[in-house]
Amino acid sequence: MGYYEVEFEPVGRRGKCRDDESVLDCAHRLGVGIVSLCGGRGKFHCCKIQIIKGSVSKPTKSEIEFFSSEELKDGYRLACQTYLKSNCKIKVPLESLTTPQRLQLEGLEIGVKLNPPVKSCDVKLSPPSMVDLRGDDERIMDDLNHQFNLSCRKFDIDVLKNMSSLLRSSRWEARVFVRDNEVVSISSKHSSGLGLAVDLGTTKIAGYLLDLDSGKTLSSSGVMNPQISYGEDIVSRITYAMESPAKKKKLQEVVVNTLNSLTADLCRRANVEKERIVEAVIVGNTVMHHLLLDLPVDQLAVSPFVPAVQNSLDVKSRDIGLNIAPGAYIHLLPNIAGFVGADHVAMLLATERIWKDDDLVIALDIGTNTEVSLIDNGDITSVSCASGPAFEGAHIKDGMRATNGAIERLQLIGDEVKYQTIGKVPPVGLCGSGILDAIAQLYLAGVISRDGKMNDHPRIRFHNNQKEFVLVDEKENGSPAITITQKDVREIQLAKGAIRSGIDVLLQERGHFEQEIKKVIIAGAFGSYINVASAVSIGMLPPLPLNRFQQVGNAAGIGAKLALLSIEERFKAEAIAHRASYIELAASPDFEKIFLRATYLG
Amino acid sequence: MGYYEVEFEPVGRRGKCRDDESVLDCAHRLGVGIVSLCGGRGKFHCCKIQIIKGSVSKPTKSEIEFFSSEELKDGYRLACQTYLKSNCKIKVPLESLTTPQRLQLEGLEIGVKLNPPVKSCDVKLSPPSMVDLRGDDERIMDDLNHQFNLSCRKFDIDVLKNMSSLLRSSRWEARVFVRDNEVVSISSKHSSGLGLAVDLGTTKIAGYLLDLDSGKTLSSSGVMNPQISYGEDIVSRITYAMESPAKKKKLQEVVVNTLNSLTADLCRRANVEKERIVEAVIVGNTVMHHLLLDLPVDQLAVSPFVPAVQNSLDVKSRDIGLNIAPGAYIHLLPNIAGFVGADHVAMLLATERIWKDDDLVIALDIGTNTEVSLIDNGDITSVSCASGPAFEGAHIKDGMRATNGAIERLQLIGDEVKYQTIGKVPPVGLCGSGILDAIAQLYLAGVISRDGKMNDHPRIRFHNNQKEFVLVDEKENGSPAITITQKDVREIQLAKGAIRSGIDVLLQERGHFEQEIKKVIIAGAFGSYINVASAVSIGMLPPLPLNRFQQVGNAAGIGAKLALLSIEERFKAEAIAHRASYIELAASPDFEKIFLRATYLG
């Protein structure tokens, strides 16, 4: 038994590969998520890879049948059929990756030049005496300003409450955290200041705890947005909030409580105290942003839908009740419009290096609300699409969140349904990417027509007065059948129609054709897990070569991290927001026609 | 019956005087408080005045007996014996005034060049439309910065909560209150912003409501400091606060509650809403300052007694729970030392024009704690004296606050006691100035020796095992007797000794003699009501000509008003605090000796 060095591209994962394990097994062992529907039998051709450098085993019969000789010459192979014969560099095409998003922007925040808004300064003071009666504030300020060349003039009131006893118990040595000209925290230990980055989504909340000295992410965690109980989408949340000030306040309370437990969880995972968090950045769409701050949302319910707050904002953590260092600020990135918020700005910030040098780019963040931007020579035009929560699994009969047991990949081979579940456990439902694959496969197989109508098929049955396609039947694993109903198809048509019409309106308004698009950047958890080929098949995304699509994961979260680590990134975010103009979809003269067309499959 | 024009100096009060009313009656009618112990019979020579211009009735027998021919030539007369014969200008010497303080600095704040830290700006905005989608914040900021040439960048979070609905209901017109680069309040009405000035004393709290546009005081009011229940003086308050964080917090709570009712009262009197108050200035001694902000006081209990906060401070009103405009700041002037606080800085600020051009000035603010500064060619040296609450009437058997029924002036004529009460009602006790007069008169009459021992006298009796001098006996008005006990004398000796030793230590430390003092500025309610001659008689103040003393009333409150109305005054206050150095009395090598000597009368 021998070992070879292997490197997977564009992931950048390196490791050793045994000569008796398939590339697929090696990839899984090294944490590179390659799709595998047949369990390594070479049957479904879903684990396509490309050998860039090095030599491997000869193509098997299954590979020779599947690939053209041209493709084989170019090094295309199936990972489950291939064994290394030397050190190799292997490219994994996007469509073969299960979790491409983790790989595109991961670590981007480490690359940023660290210049966090909060600086840590170590002071060592002479204690007061009868000949040096300066107050504690003056004593620290003098030292700070002389030693670090600052012009610090202010202390947060909560810092002052603990400072005097801290100085006396720590023998007049302390680490002082300074933001602009204000001391926002003080510690007797020399441990680094921490930052909290939050992507506050309509449905999900993702939190990251960062070390501001190293830029490293110490822990990350996700929870559901508890506001869901008061309305699934932003419009129903606005409606609820408008019923009374108390109800609006309630929406703030539940989300702040959840942020507090999320923060506690992040700190527990990293084994640190929450008081060490000296700055937070929270990004969300405009409605999430406003509800978090208990700002009015009434004006978001009527045309022209302008935000109460558009510019970036710094709010003391205590003013919204976030339990971090009491003097810490929460920075909120600017909003572009009433329905294109700071999360989209964060996403554009995180992906700037991807779009800035290209002529025509579409950047979209798919979620319960989907924001789409067309970037045309630096000009940014944005729309907001009410795509709804179907892709989060809601309103879909067997839909579920992307957790263990969810079908995440699915293929129809003849009349046989092959699928892969998260956690490789028996299936219990479909998550967004599985639903998308299912609709695409049924459409491609002709089981669903362009208008979404289900045709006859051996797996089609009537159940509860409605047609449904059985993906997994009752007998298969002794649990209820997993099906796609006619109603599910309609839901997906509306959702994908909302997204596609957003893209189409942008192109029309700016006078472009879809073939001019050089790149489509897809952000958001769902968008990053999907099989782009499926999304193109059903016409959710425009019919472009697959290599023009880039799935970038939770780019909004990455943008929040960047804004946490660098003042320059905040300036960049401001610039992006100022360059962006907003188009109201409903105000576009052809919108209804475009939307109707976009609901058709294909 | 004819009328003449009369003008009283230095009060500056003008009016008409009938030819058949005495100058005393006329003065009282015009609100000029001239002492009157004999009820206008010319017996006690306490209503001395000086005719500066104009002619009056001939001197009566009583006047000729009392005044020297020199004095009569200089125009000295008794107000109760004098009638006008032409228009006159009359000077009322300080010792004849009952309420001199109201007259010295009153209206000083109107003279200041208005430049309040909060500016009011009227904006008239174009409403949002499909072609102008700016957020509400951006819309206001653009208008503000262009129209008023500001660089406003921030909104208080609480302003943002109401701004959007306000703009929509007021047809996009509003008055915006801007502080530095931050919007701190917004109103749909065009009424001026208000300011709250507070002198937070250990015993009393004085509040003033000001119009920031005109500089005028709209209402003023005083209440007791509720912290008294937890300790009469600052040392006992510190002791209480150190017992537990909850107790310290309690001291903050009670004082904030009282400030809130004081504010409500001020607003009711002026018929305005408290939300119109867009800025507050609060001055107090360092302990009051720290307790108000819930800052640590432990370090004020041990040498070298340094404050946690020495510099000026801006705190959001909501951060301490003061109910004014939610986005408003409270400005706290700088403290000089642990026991010479922002109230003394405010007093020095208000009296700057009195001391700045003189060579050697003593400025003292008499209260439960008395701060004394020696101003020597611009250098300020300060001490703090624990004078205690005796002059507020506490610890004195028949002591009381300066309210109706309190004896405020007192004279011993032979064995007869003549007195004047506040409100001219029957006496119920003695307020500070009455106690001081009593001790001085008893000392001058030899009833009390230099060491404070009571000698024999027809009005001396034993009561409850202790010597006491009967000022008003039981029969006189059917209520309990009003007496000065031996213990009262001891209390006053300690109180006056504390003050005098402060002055003496300052002179010694700076190498000066008391005769070099050009002016003694006496601030504080008590200090302004006292008969300076009495204070000099018992040796509370140094033996200087009476015209070197200036009683200036609540100068700390005036200083707070000045800092409310003008940023320049705040800079001045900073400069004063920086020029001041502090001497710890107890650390002075001769302190015990000096203090002991100072407790002697005379």
Confidence (pLDDT) at B478: 75
pLDDT value at A263 more than 90: yes
CA-CA-CA-CA torsion sign (A76, A81, A86, A90): positive
pLDDT value at A104 more than 50: no
* Two structure tokens written together for B446: 């030899």
CA distance B157 to chain A (A): 7
Please state the CATH superfamily assignment of the domain spanning residues B350-385+501-599 in this structure: ATPase, nucleotide binding domain (3.30.420.40)
Question: Which residues are CB-neighbours of B179 under 8 A, at least 6 positions away?
Answer: B117, B118, B119, B278, B279, B329
pLDDT value at B573 more than 50: yes
Q: Per-residue pLDDT tens for B255-265?
A: 999 999 999 99
Confidence (pLDDT) at B317: 98
Distance CA B236, CA B177 (A): 41
Confidence (pLDDT) at A110: 63
Across-strand partners of B411?
Answer: B418
pLDDT value at A315 more than 60: yes
CATH code of the domain occupying B118-187: 3.10.20.880
Q: Find chain A residues with C-beta within 8 A of B298's C-beta.
A: 164-165
Distance CA B63, CA B57 (A): 12
Q: What is the 3-state secondary structure (H, E, C) of A461-511?
A: EEECCEEEEEEECHHHHCCCCEEEEHHHHHHHHHHHHHHHHHHHHHHHHHC
The mean pLDDT of B94-122, rounded to a whole number, is: 72
Mean pLDDT of chain A: 92
Record: contact A295-B160, CB cut-off 8 A: yes
pLDDT value at A499 more than 70: yes
**3-class SS of residue B121:** strand
Distance CA B490, CA B115 (A): 49
The 10 Å Cβ neighbour count of residue B44 is 21
The mean pLDDT of A134-144, rounded to a whole number, is: 96
CA distance B134 to chain A (A): 7
Confidence (pLDDT) at A100: 43
pLDDT band (50, 70, 90) for residue B98: low
Record: contact A157-B315, CB cut-off 8 A: yes
Kindly list the domain boundaries of chain A, sorted by start residue: 3-97, 118-187, 194-332, 351-602
Least confident of A41-55, A168-182, A423-437, B126-140: A41-55
pLDDT value at B567 more than 90: yes
pLDDT value at A23 more than 70: yes
Record: contact A138-B310, CB cut-off 8 A: yes
Residue B468: exposed, middle, or buried by beta-carbon count in 10 A (0-12, 13-18, 19+)? buried
Residue B397: exposed, middle, or buried by beta-carbon count in 10 A (0-12, 13-18, 19+)? middle
Q: Per-residue pLDDT tens for A469-479?
A: 999 998 776 78
Do the bridges between strand B182-187 and strand B154-155 make them parallel or antiparallel, or are there none, so unpaired? Answer: parallel
* Two structure tokens written together for B284: 């107090």
pLDDT band (50, 70, 90) for residue A11: low
The mean pLDDT of B473-495, rounded to a whole number, is: 90
Confidence (pLDDT) at B44: 72
The mean pLDDT of A578-598, rounded to a whole number, is: 93
**3-class SS of residue A298:** helix
Q: Find chain A residues with C-beta within 8 A of B306's C-beta.
A: 128, 133-136
DSSP codes joined into one string, A74-132 = TTEEEGGG--BSS-EEEE--GGGBSSTHHHHSTTHHHHSPPB-SEEEEEEE-PPPBTTB
Least confident of A148-157, A225-234, A260-269: A225-234
Mean pLDDT of chain B: 92
Q: Which helix (H) or strand (E) holds A579?
A: helix A567-579
Q: Find chain A residues with C-beta within 8 A of B133's C-beta.
A: 304-306, 337-338, 582
pTM for this predicted structure: 0.84
pLDDT value at B496 more than 80: yes
* Beta strands in A112-193, from DSSP E residues, in sequence order: 118-124, 154-155, 173-179, 182-187
pLDDT value at A105 more than 60: no
Question: Which residues are CB-neighbours of B520 under 8 A, at least 6 positions away?
Answer: B361, B362, B363, B364, B541, B542, B544, B548, B549, B550
Q: Find chain A residues with C-beta within 8 A of B141's C-beta.
A: 311
Counting residues of chain B whose pLDDT is more than 90, the rounded percentage is 76
Q: Per-residue pLDDT tens for A511-566?
A: 999 999 999 999 988 888 888 999 999 999 999 998 899 888 889 999 999 999 99
Confidence (pLDDT) at A367: 87
CA distance A132 to chain B (A): 9
The mean pLDDT of B153-182, rounded to a whole number, is: 96
The 10 Å Cβ neighbour count of residue A548 is 17
Q: Which fold has domain A3-97?
A: Ubiquitin-like (UB roll) (3.10.20)
pLDDT value at B311 more than 50: yes
* Two structure tokens written together for A260: 């507090």
Record: contact B296-A161, CB cut-off 8 A: yes
pLDDT band (50, 70, 90) for residue B105: low
Please state the CATH superfamily assignment of the domain spanning residues A194-332 in this structure: Domain of unknown function (DUF4445) (3.30.420.480)
* Greatest mean pLDDT range, A98-102, B237-241, B388-392: B237-241
CA distance A320 to chain B (A): 9
Distance CA A294, CA A281 (A): 17
pLDDT value at A435 more than 70: yes
Confidence (pLDDT) at A308: 97
Confidence (pLDDT) at A103: 38
Kindly state the greatest CA–CA separation across chain A: 96
Question: Which residues are CB-neighbours of B176 under 8 A, at least 6 positions away?
Answer: B120, B121, B122, B123, B140, B144, B183, B185, B186
Question: Which residues are CB-neighbours of A536 under 8 A, at least 6 positions away?
Answer: A542, A543, A544, A546
Record: contact A133-B304, CB cut-off 8 A: yes
pLDDT band (50, 70, 90) for residue A361: very high
Instruction: List b or e across A156-193, with b for residues whose CB sees 16 or more CB atoms inside 10 angstroms.
Output: bbbbbbbbbebbbeeebebbbbbbbebbbbbbeeeebb
Same fold, A118-187 and A194-332: no
The mean pLDDT of B52-69, rounded to a whole number, is: 92
Record: contact B135-A307, CB cut-off 8 A: yes
pLDDT band (50, 70, 90) for residue B103: very low
Q: Which helix (H) or strand (E) holds B103?
A: helix B101-104
* Two structure tokens written together for B86: 């032409």
Task: Report which of residues A587 and A510 the model is more confident about.
Answer: A510
pLDDT value at B528 more than 60: yes
Q: What is the DSSP letter of A19?
A: T
CA distance B576 to chain A (A): 15
Distance CA A601, CA B580 (A): 82
* Two structure tokens written together for A381: 């035009």
Confidence (pLDDT) at B102: 38
**In CATH, which of 2.60.40.420, 3.30.70.20, 3.40.1440.60, 3.10.20.30 is domain B3-98?**
3.10.20.30
Do the bridges between strand A194-200 and strand A204-211 make them parallel or antiparallel, or are there none, so unpaired? Answer: antiparallel
* Interface pTM, i.e. ipTM: 0.84
Q: Distance of CA B330 to CAs B117, B136, B250, B343, B349, Å?
A: 11, 27, 20, 15, 18
pLDDT value at A16 more than 50: yes
Q: Find chain B residues with C-beta within 8 A of A335's C-beta.
A: 135
Of residues A522, A524, A523, A525, the one with CA closest to residue A536: A522
Give the relative orientation of helices A486-510 and A432-444 as an angle to the nearest 10 degrees.
90
Instruction: List b or e across B158-195, with b for residues whose CB sees 16 or more CB atoms inside 10 angstroms.
Output: bbbbbbbebbbeeebebbbbbbbebbbbbbeeeebbbb
CA distance B515 to chain A (A): 29
Kindly state the greatest CA–CA separation across chain B: 96
Confidence (pLDDT) at B101: 38
Record: contact B137-A315, CB cut-off 8 A: no
The mean pLDDT of A35-59, rounded to a whole number, is: 84
Confidence (pLDDT) at A217: 94
pLDDT value at A108 more than 80: no
Interface test with B, best of A310, A313, A570 (most B CBs within 10 A): A310
Record: contact A299-B134, CB cut-off 8 A: no
pLDDT band (50, 70, 90) for residue B50: very high
